Structure 1
Amino acid sequence: MEILSILQCIMEKYTKIAIVITFFSLWLSGYFSSPSQQIIGLFLIFSLGILHGSNDLKLISKVNRVSKPIQLALFIGSYIGTVLIASLLFYYLPSLALIAFVIFSAFHFGEQHFNALPQTTSIFNKAMFLFYGLTILFLLFNLNSTATLEIINSLTGFTFQTEWFRWIIAFTLVIWLLFALTMVFQNKMTWKRLLFELFLLLVFAVVFKTATLIWAFAIYFIFWHSIPSIFEQQNFLYGEVSIKTFVTYVKSSFIIWLISISAIALLFFWIQDEKILLPLLFAFLGAITFAHSLTISKMFKIKG
């Protein structure tokens, strides 16, 4: 069996597991208080969430197929530079940085979710990825509007209206559905897959409505994005998905993961203001998302 077929088989099996985990997480939401949900959510984000983006430098070295140390240094420098620029944007132009973060994150989520589908045109695929991701994010924002509006206000000083979330969800959902239907009629997506995706959106809506913002975000971010991404990266870097390659992946990612966790811990300790802990967390995730999403896109382009 080809490596790609093996990976698809693993992803299909994991999807079934992820559904069970999601419903279990939903069940847990009824038994844990908001502080407990936040602690569990932050633990998952700081562990597997940060880990899935901590192997980017190794991915860069393979994605760009560099052989000379100087070339590799330039690519690594550009990655670090992207993170620094994003960090400065969040400091000096938070509104612009927040918009960019949402767009990059939305595209990144959609690309990870649908990368195995047959390719159409580049613009078509990118638009579909973007609108699916925007639907997920604004569904989360709308169903946790109070906490989301507080974060937006803390980061930018801007007062966002809850109704805008609903209008954006309606728009992005309709546009994504048009793209999905087009793929169905082009025989690049089955009706079964489309109905399954609509079912997932319904499940996510129930989870987002029931859980707190951080816990809801963690459920989606970890179980539907980070873990599948780790599988994809293992397959790309080592040619297989196994416990052995996962251990190798963790060893390769550990230093960057430790630096990332240490940096956010120092910021929390330095600022010591609970009101801006969540905005700071999302700003931090935003800063590393820009470079990470570009790296993963290159990985999928080479694989495709």
Structure 2
Amino acid sequence: MNDFYLNILAFSGILTFGIIHGANDLLLIKEVSENYNFKLQFLYYVIMVVGFFLFFYNIPILALITFVLLSSYHFGEHQWTLFERIEDDFIKIFYFFYGLTIFSLLFYFNIKEVSEIIFDITTIELSDNFFFYLLLVSSSISFISSLLFYQQIKNQLITQIILLALLVLTFKTCGLIWSFALYFVFWHSIPSIKEQTIFIFGKAEKESIKNYFKKAFLYWLLSIVVLIITYYLFKANQDKLISIFFSFLASITFPHTFVVSKIKKPS
């Protein structure tokens, strides 16, 4: 299978499971809110998405940094709370640097493609050394943090090391789009859908998962329509379509990180 078809498959995964896993955020908010107002929450949510897209469009470098920092915490928190919830506020530091390590690995093994996208978005050209030192610093702090929080994470440490090794192998052997899609869909989105289904419906059986997708469908469809409109607005810039796609993805991810952080709080 050539790169074109692999990329089509990768984007299909991101646009289905990837977007769907964030499409029930309003339902999650309802579950954790005492005074829930759908219209008001929907308005807030849309404002956050549009606001972050405009932020990306007008101040791209600052928006990109914000996205990477927030997503680092989100990915790290998700990965280390899949198997066990840990009641320690300070472990959030470990979550952040572990998530940043995941980003750094993705960047480091796909330096050329990542540099081009960052340049398209920000007009800033980063050297290869930047990605090396980002990986060195984030992984070093992650390792030191894992020693500090060893007692809290020891039950899942071997599992996480195996998953990380598989992730490194994936990033090293696949291109940027395929690497990101495999991580985002299989490591993040599908486990998150299962976790959210349990949180909302109390279990992750066939019927409850079907209900999750039914409730997510309208918001997923709205996201796809917005993406199509965005594509037509910027279709003259064919060389920047991947950058625009990631900007859109960042915009819908921004509010999602805050919502998931609420449901991840230890009970």
Counterpart for residue 206 of structure 1: 169
Counterpart for residue 263 of structure 2: 299
Q: How far off is 1:38 after superposition? A: 1.1
Counterpart for residue 109 of structure 2: 143
Amino acid at match of 2:249: L
Q: How far off is 1:120 after superposition? A: 4.5
**What is the aligned counterpart of 1:170 among 130, 133, 136?**
136
Distance in 1 (alpha carbons) for counterparts of 2:119 and 2:218: 34
Distance in 2 (alpha carbons) for counterparts of 1:193 and 1:166: 28
The 3-state SS of whatever aligns with 2:23 is coil
**What is the aligned counterpart of 1:225 among 182, 188, 194?**
188
The answer on 1:132 being equivalent to 2:98 is: yes
**What is the aligned counterpart of 1:117 among 80, 84, 106?**
84
The 3-state SS of whatever aligns with 1:158 is coil
The answer on 1:286 being equivalent to 2:255 is: no
Distance in 2 (alpha carbons) for counterparts of 1:119 and 1:55: 24
The answer on 1:264 being equivalent to 2:204 is: no
Instruction: Judge conservation of contact 1:37–1:212 (CA < 8 Å) in 2.
Output: no
Distance in 2 (alpha carbons) for counterparts of 1:40 and 1:144: 19
Instruction: Judge conservation of contact 1:94–1:156 (CA < 8 Å) in 2.
Output: yes
The answer on 1:58 being equivalent to 2:27 is: yes
- Total equivalences in the alignment: 265
Counterpart for residue 194 of structure 1: 157
Distance in 1 (alpha carbons) for counterparts of 2:45 and 2:226: 17
Instruction: Judge conservation of contact 2:197–2:209 (CA < 8 Å) in 1.
Output: yes
Counterpart for residue 124 of structure 2: 158
| Correspondence 1:60-139 to 2 at 5 A | 60-67=29-36, 71-115=37-81, 116-122=83-89, 124-139=90-105
**What is the aligned counterpart of 1:180 among 129, 138, 146?**
146
Amino acid at match of 2:190: I
- Structure 2: runs of 5+ lacking an equivalent: none
Q: How far off is 1:92 after superposition? A: 0.6
Instruction: Judge conservation of contact 1:60–1:76 (CA < 8 Å) in 2.
Output: no
Distance in 1 (alpha carbons) for counterparts of 2:8 and 2:38: 38
- Structure 1: runs of 5+ lacking an equivalent: 1-31
Deviations 1:231-286 (A, max 9, x none): 11101100000110111011101011001011112222332233111101110111
Distance in 1 (alpha carbons) for counterparts of 2:229 and 2:39: 27
Amino acid at match of 1:288: I
The answer on 1:244 being equivalent to 2:207 is: yes
Distance in 2 (alpha carbons) for counterparts of 1:137 and 1:164: 13
Instruction: Judge conservation of contact 1:118–1:188 (CA < 8 Å) in 2.
Output: no
Distance in 2 (alpha carbons) for counterparts of 1:189 and 1:154: 39
CA RMSD of aligned residues (A): 1.6
Distance in 1 (alpha carbons) for counterparts of 2:33 and 2:69: 25
Distance in 1 (alpha carbons) for counterparts of 2:170 and 2:39: 43
Distance in 2 (alpha carbons) for counterparts of 1:196 and 1:249: 28
Q: What TM-score, normalized to structure 2?
A: 0.94
Distance in 1 (alpha carbons) for counterparts of 2:94 and 2:65: 18
**What is the aligned counterpart of 1:45 among 11, 14, 18?**
14
Amino acid at match of 1:259: L
Amino acid at match of 1:60: I
Kindly report structure 1 stretches of 4+ aligned residues shifted beyond 6 Å. Answer: none
Distance in 1 (alpha carbons) for counterparts of 2:205 and 2:48: 32
The 3-state SS of whatever aligns with 2:120 is helix
Distance in 1 (alpha carbons) for counterparts of 2:84 and 2:148: 13
The 3-state SS of whatever aligns with 1:66 is coil
Distance in 2 (alpha carbons) for counterparts of 1:199 and 1:112: 16
